[in-house]
Every structure is written in C-alpha cells, then in structure tokens.
C-alpha cells in the first residue's frame, strides 16, 4: 500500500502555474511515486484563479501576510486562500507528509518574500499562506520544499520521517497499547540515537514507567517528541556512534578479519571517505548470516525501501 503524501500540483508536471507552466520534479513523479500516493493541490487554482493568471505576492505582516495581485494590491485573495487552506487541512488529515513548491506565495515553506510599504521584502522571510495553515493545523506532519530535496541529507531525513509517521498512524489505528508503543520505540531506538541522542534517552525514561499513565495520554506525549527528534538531520558523528553500537552485537560471531574489515569501513565512513550505505550493507550482510531478533526489527537498518538509494550520497 502506498503512503498518501500531499504535493504542490506543479511538481508533478501539471501546468497550473501563473504563467501556464509547471515545475516538474522527476524525483517526485518517478522515484517517490513508486511508494507515495500523491495528493496534488494547486491552492491558487483551488480558489478559482485561472491559468495563466496575474502573479500574486505577499504583503504586510510576515506572520500573517495578505495575498494580493502584484499588479493591483486592491485585488486581495487572502480570505479565499485562508478558507481554502483551513478546509484542505481538515480534508488532508490522513496525509503522512507534504512536499511544497519553493518560493510560492501560497506553497512556499521557507524564505518566501513578504513585501513592505517601502516596496522591499521584509528582512525576515515568510511562509506561503496555504503552507502556513497546513503546517499549523498538522504540526507533526513531515514537510519539505521541493528545492531542498536536492540535498541528499535533507531528502533522506524527510523520507525517513514520512515512513516513521506512516508506521505510527498504522499503529494507532490498529493496536494502541502500552506494549505496542514500547515495541514501536524499540524499533526506532537506533534511529533516535542517530538523529537526537538526548531525545533517545528522554523517551526511554518516559517509557520506563509507561504503565503508570493512560495509554492515550502516553501516546500523545510520545509521538510529538519522536517526530521532533527525527526532524534533526543525523550527522556522520551520530551515525558512526550507531554503527559502532550495532557492531557490538557481532563481536562474538565474527572472525578477526571480519571485525577488522567492519571497523575499517565504519572509520572510513566517519572521515567521509565512503557513504553510509557501505558500512550499512556490510552490517546487514553479517546480521543475515548471524541473525539477532532485536536487531532484525530495527528501523535504522531499513527505514524505507532500499531501492530509493537514499544512503548512497550521505
């Protein structure tokens, strides 16, 4: 079953931009579409603006800007866009992620220009009206901008969060219990260690006395902390720490030569001579030959399908 993910319509090649064009992303339409069931939206078309159309821009308060026509600021689309955005935020409550179009006055997540009375953009960048409402109403939803997905580390982090979010949604719909929460946390132990070591410790302490809390309340506390932690981009240092922990599970079953080879590859990764996929592949090879039930369920070793090749460039 594919994972439902929202996306700015122009990124799928739909000709919905103000100039009648698109911003087709092959990453989205070809690679990610194998696993994501994209739900496409163009907010500007959604509020009735035509194709092509006069361009629009944001003005006023950076935190709550108005959306107006670039050619005539008396043509104000703010109320329609806010109504549309709130409605879509409710309709899309089942999404597990969202990919927005960069710089868009409706969909931009970061660095969106908000013009002031002097005719210049504010020093503090804003956020597109639609993107702001979607993220405010769904604060834990993994979101990213199309342009930032060209960065291998940001791309890997976003997609990993989408799969984690999806796995949690499946859990709460089917079997929410103390045991299932603790089992879920056990699966993400090393992922947390890679993304946020301090949060890994804090969440472990929270779950140590899980039985003393209402299960729904526990879930409401746990999941926001998990998603916040996974939002941190893992570094070579934190990945190396996890790799060395995993290596420890093999110390009694590998030969001296195999131990040396694995240690060498982990160190070569640490000093940026090879990508993460190399020591990960060798670890998975050894664990296939020497299975460990606890390691077998770790999301860290396979947080998403291998053929996405996300660890080949980090």
What is the model's pTM? Answer: 0.95
DSSP 189-237: HHHHHHH-HHHHHHHHHHHHTGGGS-HHHHHHHHHHHHHHHHTSPP-HH
Distance of alpha carbon 36 from alpha carbon 161, whole angstroms:
13
Tell me the domain boundaries of the chain: 3-150, 152-314
- How many other CB atoms sit within 10 Å of the CB of residue 224? 12
Residue carrying the six token digits 């949690």: 168
Give the pLDDT confidence of 234-277 residue by residue, as tens digits: 999 999 999 999 999 999 999 999 999 999 999 999 999 999 99
As a whole number of Å, the end-to-end CA separation of the chain is: 28
- Name residue 68's beta-bridge partners: 57, 76
Give the pLDDT confidence of 75-92 residue by residue, as tens digits: 999 999 999 999 999 999
What is the pLDDT, as a whole number, of residue 180?
94
Q: Taking a C-beta distance cutoff of 8 angstroms, is the pair 14, 42 a contact?
A: yes
- Name residue 8's beta-bridge partners: 41
Residues 6+ apart with CB under 8 A from 312: 275, 277
Per-residue pLDDT of the chain (314 residues; tens, 9 = 90+): 899 999 999 999 999 999 999 999 999 999 999 999 999 999 999 999 999 999 999 999 999 999 999 999 999 999 999 999 999 999 999 999 999 999 999 999 999 999 999 999 999 989 999 999 999 999 999 999 999 999 999 999 999 999 999 999 999 999 889 999 999 999 999 999 999 999 999 999 999 887 777 899 999 999 999 999 999 999 999 999 999 999 999 999 999 999 999 999 999 999 999 999 999 999 999 999 999 999 999 999 999 999 999 999 99
Distance of alpha carbon 258 from alpha carbon 10, whole angstroms:
50
DSSP 31: I
Q: Taking a C-beta distance cutoff of 8 angstroms, is the pair 287, 279 a contact?
A: no
Q: Taking a C-beta distance cutoff of 8 angstroms, is the pair 67, 127 a contact?
A: no
Helix axes 256-270, 236-248, angle to 10 degrees: 170
What is the pLDDT, as a whole number, of residue 211?
72
What is the pLDDT, as a whole number, of residue 110?
95
At 65, give phi and psi (nearest 5°): -75, 165
DSSP 141: S
Token pair for 257: 């030569």
What is the pLDDT, as a whole number, of residue 62?
96
CA atoms within 13 A on the CB side of 273: 8
On the question of a cis peptide bond just before residue 85, with omega within 30 degrees of 0, the verdict is no
CA atoms within 13 A on the CB side of 179: 2
Token pair for 313: 């460039």
Distance of alpha carbon 157 from alpha carbon 119, whole angstroms:
37
Distance of alpha carbon 227 from alpha carbon 163, whole angstroms:
11
């Amino acid at each position: 079953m594919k994972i439902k993910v929202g996306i700015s319509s122009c990124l799928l090649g739909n000709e919905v931009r103000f100039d009648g064009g698109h911003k087709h992303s092959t990453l989205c339409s070809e690679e990610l579409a194998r696993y994501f069931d994209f739900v496409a939206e163009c907010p500007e078309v959604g509020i009735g603006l035509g194709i092509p159309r006069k361009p629009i821009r944001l003005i006023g308060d950076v935190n709550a800007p108005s959306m107006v026509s670039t050619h005539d600021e008396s043509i104000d689309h703010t109320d329609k866009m806010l109504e549309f955005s709130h409605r879509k935020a409710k309709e899309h409550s089942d999404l597990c992620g969202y990919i927005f179009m960069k710089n868009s006055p409706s969909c931009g997540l970061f660095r969106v220009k908000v013009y002031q009375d002097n005719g210049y953009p504010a020093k503090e960048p804003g956020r597109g009206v639609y993107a702001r409402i979607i993220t405010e109403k769904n604060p834990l939803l993994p979101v990213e901008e199309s342009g930032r997905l060209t960065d291998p580390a940001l791309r890997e982090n976003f997609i990993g969060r989408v799969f984690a979010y999806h796995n949690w949604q499946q859990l709460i719909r089917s079997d929410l219990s103390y045991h299932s929460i603790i089992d879920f946390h056990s699966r993400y132990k090393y992922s947390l260690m890679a993304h946020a070591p301090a949060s890994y410790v804090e969440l472990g302490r929270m779950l140590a006395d899980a039985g003393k809390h209402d299960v729904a309340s526990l879930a409401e506390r746990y999941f926001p902390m998990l998603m916040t932690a996974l939002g941190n981009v893992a570094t070579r240092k934190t990945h190396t720490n996890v790799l060395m922990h995993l290596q420890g599970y093999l110390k009694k079953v590998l030969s001296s030569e195999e131990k040396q080879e694995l240690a060498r590859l982990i160190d070569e990764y640490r000093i940026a001579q090879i990508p993460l996929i190399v020591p990960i592949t060798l670890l998975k090879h050894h664990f296939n030959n020497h299975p460990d039930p606890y390691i077998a369920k770790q999301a860290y070793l396979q947080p998403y399908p291998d053929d996405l090749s996300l660890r080949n460039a980090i």
